[in-house]
Structure 1
Amino acid sequence: PSNPGVGQLVQPQSPPQAYGDPAAQQPHSSITPYLPVSTGIPPGLEYLMQGGVTAITVSPLPLPAFIGFETANKYELRDGLGRRLFEAEEQSDCCTRNCCGSLRRLRLNVAEPGGRPVLRLLRPIKCTTCWCPCCLQELEVQCPPGTTIGHVVQTWHPFTPKFSVQNAEKQTVLRVLGPCCVFRCGGDINFEVKTSNESRGVGRISKQWGGLLKEVFTDTDVFGIQFPVDLDVKMKAVLLGACFLIDYMFFEKSGTTSQRSTVLSS
């Protein structure tokens, strides 16, 4: 059992087979290079230069996930060797967490293990239902804190989760498309990352299946993020923000019921 909301970001291990083969080193066969790496890299984001795959793990605590009291989320970011790169901690008040559940307004502060701030993610309180298309989810990504580098904005669709990944000027650079059903027993749930015109895939955000007991009785979630190595490092950071937003929208457990948002209802 775990306290709902404490977690870590880690990178999955290297492929176990044919790793010496250059073709086998690609994160996913359908992923193609998209954007050149920016020359002006904000402090701290150099850790994202190498990776194409990152994952989120929400770790169990001694308290059960269904204690009926929502606590602030905490995360860790780790590389493929298990080394801790960043720590993220939610800032929100107790009333908002327990009254608004997964829709709550919050701030996520991402810092290096030594405490130096790297990212700040700001999420206002919004709806997720398709019946209210004028008040959909969004997330602002700042790096360093106070300087906006991008946004994640939910795009209205009656059946499937869709998000626009935007730069600082709110120009759509990538799109994230989820499945019609975000609840699946025994398999991963994939959110495809595509070009702005949705013509080809350039990455993937996957909610990985953790086993029946872990899925039901804990708030432990594992996410894999795949993106091309030559993607602008700022957009990699915005995709990390998209993964956080997806976690809160569809996989956040609140109180004694799993108050997870869906496309059709909030």
Structure 2
Amino acid sequence: MPAPPPPLDCPPGLEYLTQIDQILVHQQVELLEVLTGFETNNKYEIKNSLGQRVYFAVEENDCCTRNCFGPSRPFTLRILDNLGREVITLQRPLACGSCCCPCCLQEIEVQAPPGIPIGYVAQNWHPCLPKFTIQNEKREDVLKVVGPCVVCSCCSDIDFEIKSLDEESLVGKISKHWTGFLREAFTDADNFGIQFPLDLDVKIKAVMLGACFLIVSVPTDPGYRGLPRILLK
């Protein structure tokens, strides 16, 4: 996909996002992880609706952290364009994400270009619903993310709705796509889709991409009715 001319106030490398209203995130299957269960750094292809690769994402972590903390682990996720330039950096500190510990909930910082924060995604405490808030670079609330009460999938997608702050208007959604029994059972490589308005602020689009990576890694918690393994990578 050729890069369009950069609009005003658009961080370098995010020009692609100004032209699309949907992103597909495909996690790559790691053969070593499938055969041994040994947790490896996750890698993702980020594509447009035509299947053209727009970005490539690589988790940066050490072996001990990955295998000791599992889905709760802190990580840095580097998102590269097709020329290998890092355009977005996602940083998540160590946190439990449990509704029993409201003082230790998950959060991710989105930087574009690397080192310059453009937004945050913060997990909100709720006894039974997975909820998150999308914030701008000033930590002002912009949008809400609300997941289903029972986060369970069998032959169907799981949708997290992106809503206005009053939760009255639907803005978009983040979906975990069903990929078939064999893939779901024997690998942790998942496919996700993100939908948003075409004219949405490009920085918020990038933060919504960060929200996708945060949502799918929130640890299992009784308050969330037992998130299935296929959603917790």
Q: Same fold (TM over 0.5)?
A: yes
Counterpart in 1 of 2:223? 264
Aligned partner of 1:177 in structure 2 is 146
Alignment root-mean-square deviation, CA: 1.6
Contact 2:32/2:38, CA 8 A, preserved across alignment: no
Aligned with 2:206: secondary structure?
helix
Partner secondary structure for residue 25 of structure 2? strand
Structure showing the higher helix proportion among its residues: 2
Report what 2:110 is aligned to: 141
Q: For 1:225, give the aligned amino acid.
A: I
Q: Structure 2: which 5+ runs fail to align?
A: 1-6, 227-233
Q: 1:90 to 1:199 in 2, by over 3 A?
A: same
Residues 1:218 and 1:68: Cα distance change in structure 2 (over 3 Å): closer
CA distance in 2: counterparts of 1:190 and 1:49, whole angstroms? 23
Farther-moved stretch of structure 1 (67-76 vs 185-194): 67-76
Match of 1:234, SS state, is helix
Q: Find the counterpart in structure 2 of residue 234 from structure 1.
A: 203
Alignment gaps of 5+ in structure 1: 1-37, 250-259
* TM-score, structure 2 as length reference: 0.89
Q: Which is bigger in relative contact order (C-alpha 8 A, separation at least 6)?
A: 1
Identity of matched residues, %: 52
Instruction: Give the conservation status (yes or no) of the 8 Å contact 2:79–2:86.
Output: yes
Deviations 1:106-126 (A, max 9, x none): 100111121211000000000
The structural deviation recorded for 1:139 is: 0.1
Which whole-Å deviations, capped at 9, do the CAs of 1:159-216 have from their partners, x for residues lacking one? 0100000000100100100011222211110000001121110000011111111111
Q: CA deviation at 1:263?
A: 5.6
- Tell me what 2:174 maps to: 205
Question: Is 2:51 the partner of 1:92?
Answer: no
**Alpha-carbon contact 1:177-1:192 (below 8 Å) kept:** yes
Letter in 1 for 2:198: V
Cα distance in 1 for residues equivalent to 2:166 and 2:8: 25
Matched to 1:158, the amino acid is: P
**Shift in Å, 1:71:** 0.5
TM-score, scaled relative to structure 1:
0.79
Which deviates the most, 207-216 or 157-166? 207-216
Q: Secondary structure at the match of 1:216?
A: helix
* Residue 5 of structure 2 corresponds to residue 46 of structure 1: no
1:17 corresponds in structure 2 to none
CA distance in 2, matches of 1:198, 1:152: 16
Q: Alpha-carbon deviation of 1:247?
A: 1.9
Which of 193, 201, 208 is the aligned partner of 1:224? Answer: 193
Q: Is the 8 A contact 2:12 2:113 kept in 1?
A: yes
Cα distance in 1 for residues equivalent to 2:214 and 2:42: 12
2:25–2:193 Cα contact (<8 Å) kept:
yes
Q: 2:44 aligns with which of 70, 75, 79?
A: 75
- Which residue of 77, 94, 97 maps to 1:125? 94
**Cα distance in 2, alignment partners of residues 80 and 190 from structure 1:** 18
SS in structure 1 of the partner of residue 37 of structure 2: coil
